Amino acid sequence: MTATATPTASTGAAAATDQPMTHRQVMEALSGLLLGLFVAVLSSTVVSNALPRILTDLHGGQSAYTWVITATLLTLTASTPIWGKLSDLASKKLLLQIALVIYIASSALAGFSQNTGQLIACRALQGIGAGGVTALAQICLAAMVPPRERGRYSGYFGAVFALATIGGPLIGGVIVDTSWLGWRWCFYVGIPFALAAILVLQRTLKLPVVRRKVRIDYLGALVITGAVSLLMIWITLAGKNYAWLSWQTAAMVGGGLLLGGLAVVVERRAAEPIIPPHLFRHRTVTLSALASVLVGIGMYGATTFLSQYFQLARDKSPTVAGLMTLPMILGLAVSSTVAGRLITKYGKWKAYLVAGTLLLAVGFALLGTARADTAYGLLSVYMAITGIGLGLTMQNLVLAVQNTVPRAELGAASSVVTFFRTMGGAMGVSALGALMNNRVGHYLAENLAAAHVPAGGALGGGIPDLHKLPAPLVPLVTDAFGHGVGVVFLVAAPFALLAFFTVLFIRETVLRTAQD
């Protein structure tokens, strides 16, 4: 079966789109891309503060809590390289609009969910749409402007990513704390933005569509999705549903590695592979992919566990917990914007990657010292350092790869970085979450023993509601969560340090001033 990408207008009109876009035209189209990116990233974070309320209403348990988050990350990660490859074969604009339609439909259905099974299924569909929007937004930017000019615009991507990633819990917290809205609006809130993005993109995004007749690599897509899914399901459930060292682990890890090996064989033989193996012959692509995994582990961990820290270690409401993460949001937004402009001006990008990964490691190490009673002023500095590190790193890893590959492979190459970053983040959240649960249980047992309080059933085995606990237990619980979250950040720091050493070996090439 073949797929043909055909021009959407007359030959003359198509030729006109080959002309470089002016700054005004780029900014107009960029507004649509940023709207789409905002809602796509928001879908992964806005429910974090609302999940306890959602699962109470839908009568879900701890396994449902895990799967509402994991279902989205799983399909987002697995679909990213497929969207990326399709963008090299068909209209990027049309694919992006299709992804937004999938997001809108799945969000509406999620808001109407009557049980956890329906919600998890809708969240999985939502991840497919969000994966398409996340990958295609960066690919469209790469198609609009040459690498040298791309830095100034990619800074906006970093700022919006920060706003949606770290601001999502704040938005979700405000929604669930507002009685006349309710948790279902956590899913509805992004729909108007997605509709606006479709309309803006229809009017402003004008990219050339090259006629190509190719065979779609369905087998490669299936095998890659299977390999990623098995490994992500394993790391999500291990330590909770079964032991890390068990026959289930052996089966899932063995199956995932076997499918991964099969994917390499299939992709080597495919005429149009989903993830072209020859991309990894580029040293920059390989090292950027590895660094993306390591950065993803820390990035998603920071945004996931900071919210829990402020709610469970410092007894703050969901809304206040979101507001208290503002230093990280501002650090990320400012650093990504400033770095983008400097990169455009001077054409150099490696120094920002080196500085960013180093600051990320330092920020995580400092957050690793956090406890329930740590002064907020100190925490603000630690979060700002972490945010600056993320802002200097995330978009510039994509930029480095885009500057390495020819224009015909921008989609596949860009999605490789996003794919590995999301995969690292999903696995990191699961593993670090298991570590946190273990450490919190350990420190709470110590605190209870020291206070001569019987440990049996003190918390009922779930996430505690501090306002319903006996007063003498509250400081013991907040201390345990403060210490446990600190350990999580301390463990995340070496991954960021490994990313630092990885980017040191990336060879810098001056950004190209023209498209290939």
CATH architecture of the domain 21-217+271-504 equals: Up-down Bundle (1.20)
Position 415 pLDDT exceeds 50: yes
* pLDDT given for residue 138 in this prediction: 83
Rounded (10°) CA dihedral 207, 210, 212, 216: -10
Position 445 pLDDT exceeds 90: no
pLDDT in tens, 40-57: 888 877 887 677 678 778
Closest CA to 402 of 88, 77, 17: 88
Length, in residues, of the chain: 516
pLDDT in tens, 243-294: 888 898 999 999 999 998 998 899 888 877 878 888 888 889 999 999 999 9
> Which range is most confident: 27-31, 52-56, 241-245, 456-460?
27-31
Is residue 283 within 8 A of residue 507, CB to CB? The reply is: yes
How many angstroms separate the CA atoms of 215 and 251, rounded?
Answer: 33
Position 404 pLDDT exceeds 80: yes
How many angstroms separate the CA atoms of 94 and 8, rounded?
Answer: 10
For residue 126, what pLDDT band results from cuts at 50, 70 and 90?
Answer: very high
Exposure class string for 335-349: b at 16+ Cβ within 10 A, else e: bbbebbebbbeebeb
Position 239 pLDDT exceeds 90: no
Q: Which residue has the tokens 């979250």?
A: 485
Tell me the one-letter amino acid at 362: V
How many angstroms separate the CA atoms of 121 and 106, rounded?
Answer: 9
Q: Which residues pair with 242 in a beta bridge?
A: 238
Q: Which value, in Å, is the radius of gyration of the alpha carbons in the chain? A: 23
Q: Supply the angle between the helices 51-58 and 62-87 in degrees, to the nearest 10.
A: 110
Is residue 336 within 8 A of residue 162, CB to CB? The reply is: yes
For residue 332, what pLDDT band results from cuts at 50, 70 and 90?
Answer: confident
How many angstroms separate the CA atoms of 463 and 457, rounded?
Answer: 12
* pLDDT given for residue 65 in this prediction: 65
Position 459 pLDDT exceeds 70: no
- Let me know the angle formed at the C-alpha of 88 by 82 and 93, rounded to the nearest 5 degrees: 90
How many angstroms separate the CA atoms of 66 and 72, rounded?
Answer: 11
Residues above pLDDT 90, as percent of the chain: 26
Q: Which two tokens stand for residue 490?
A: 């301390």
Rounded to a whole number of angstroms, the distance between the first and last alpha carbons of the chain is 29
- Cα-based distances in Å from 481 to 102, 252, 306, 446: 38, 31, 11, 12
